[in-house]
Structure 1
Amino acid sequence: MKTCVLVVALVFLAPALCLADDYVIGEGDVLTVHVWGEDELNSTVTVRPDGKISMPGVDDIEAAGFTLPQLKKQLQARISNLIKDPILNISLVKSVNSRVFVVGGGVEPRVFDMPQRTTLLRVLASLGSLARADLSKAYVYRDGKKVMSDFVGLFYKGEFDKDIRLEPGDTIFMPVKYDQNVYVVGAVNQPKAILYQDGLTVLDALLQAGEFSKYANEDEVVIVRTVGDKKERIPVRTKDLLKKGDLKQNVQLQAGDYIIAKESFF
Structure 2
Amino acid sequence: MRLRLLVLITVALFSLPAALFGGDYQIGEGDLLDIAVWGVKDLNFQVRVRPDGKITVPGLGEVTASGSTPSQLQGYLGGRLKELVKNPIVTVTVREITNSKVYIFGSGVKAGVYDLSRRTTLLQLLCMLPEVKTADLRNAYLLREGQKMKVDLHRLFIQGDTSQDLQLESNDSLFVPLLTDRSVYVLGAVNLPKSIEYREGMKVMEAILEAGGFTKFADQNDVVVRRKEGDKPRSLEVKAKKLFKEGDLSQNIDLKAGDYILVKEAFF
- Give TM-score, length-normalised by structure 1: 0.81
Q: Which residue of 2 aligns with 1:264?
A: 266
How has the CA–CA distance of structure 1 residues 242 and 153 changed in structure 2, closer, same or farther, with 3 Å as cutoff? Answer: same
Contact 1:201 1:250 in 2 (8 A): yes
* CA distance in structure 2 between the partners assigned to 1:165 and 1:83 by the alignment: 40
In structure 2, the residue matched to 1:4 is none
What does the per-residue CA deviation read over 1:108-148, in whole Å, with 9 as the maximum and x for residues that have no partner? 22432223454444433543553432234323334445445
The change in CA–CA distance for 1:161 and 1:25 in structure 2 (over 3 A counts) is: same
Alignment check: 8 A CA contact 2:189 2:215 kept = yes
- TM-superposed CA distance for 1:81, in Å, is 2.3
> How much does 1:214 deviate?
2.1
Match of 2:180 in 1: 178
- Asked if the contact 1:131/1:198 (under 8 Å) is kept, the reply is no
Of stretches 47-56 and 152-161 in structure 1, the one that deviates more from structure 2 is 152-161
- Cα offsets for 1:231-252 (capped at 9, x unmatched): 2222223334456655433322
Distance in 1 separating the partners of 2:151 and 2:41: 51
Q: How many corresponding residue pairs?
A: 253
Instruction: Measure the CA separation in 2 of the matches of 1:121 and 1:148.
Output: 14
Please tell me whether residue 85 in structure 1 is matched to residue 79 in structure 2: no
Indicate the percent of aligned positions where both proteins have the same amino acid. 45
Check conservation: 1:131, 1:197, Cα contact below 8 A.
no
Is the 2:57–2:63 Cα contact (8 Å) retained in structure 1? Answer: no
Map of 2:110 onto structure 1? 108
Corresponding residue for 2:238?
A: 236
Q: Do the aligned partners of 2:19 and 2:118 also contact (CA within 8 Å) in 1?
A: no
Secondary structure of 1:75's match? helix
SS at match of 1:25: coil
Report the Cα distance in structure 2 between the residues aligned to 1:243 and 1:129, rounded to whole angstroms.
42
| Counterpart Cα distance in 2 of 1:130 and 1:206 | 28
> Partner of 1:259: helix, strand, or coil?
strand
User: Residue type of the partner of 2:259?
Assistant: D
206-215 or 217-226, larger mean C-alpha shift: 206-215
Structure 1 position 165, deviation (Å): 4.3
Query: Structure 2 unaligned runs (5+)?
Result: 1-9
Asked if 2 retains the 8 angstrom alpha-carbon contact of 1:138 and 1:149, the reply is no
The residue aligned with 1:166 is 168
State the match for 2:23 in structure 1. Answer: 21
Q: Which residue identity lines up with residue 206 of structure 2 in the other structure?
A: D
Q: Which among 93, 96, 105 is matched to residue 94 of structure 1?
A: 96
- Report what 2:256 is aligned to: 254
Where 2:62 maps in the other structure, the secondary structure is strand
Give secondary structure in 2 for the equivalent of 1:21. coil
Unaligned runs of 5+ in 1: 1-8
Deviations 1:64-108 (A, max 9, x none): 111111111121123222211111211111111111111111122
Q: Output aligned runs, 1:107-186, within 5 Å.
A: 107-128=109-130, 130-148=132-150, 151-152=153-154, 155=157, 165-186=167-188
1:33 aligns with one of 26, 32, 35:
35
Deviations 1:140-190 (Å, cap 9, x if unpaired)? 334445445864455556776665543211111111122222111111111
Aligned counterpart in structure 2 of residue 196 of structure 1, from 172, 176, 198: 198
User: What's the offset of the Cα at 1:29?
Assistant: 0.9
Query: How far apart, CA to CA, are the structure 1 residues paired with 2:19 and 2:149?
Result: 27
> Offset at 1:28?
0.8
**2:108 touches 2:131 (CA, 8 Å); kept in 1?**
no
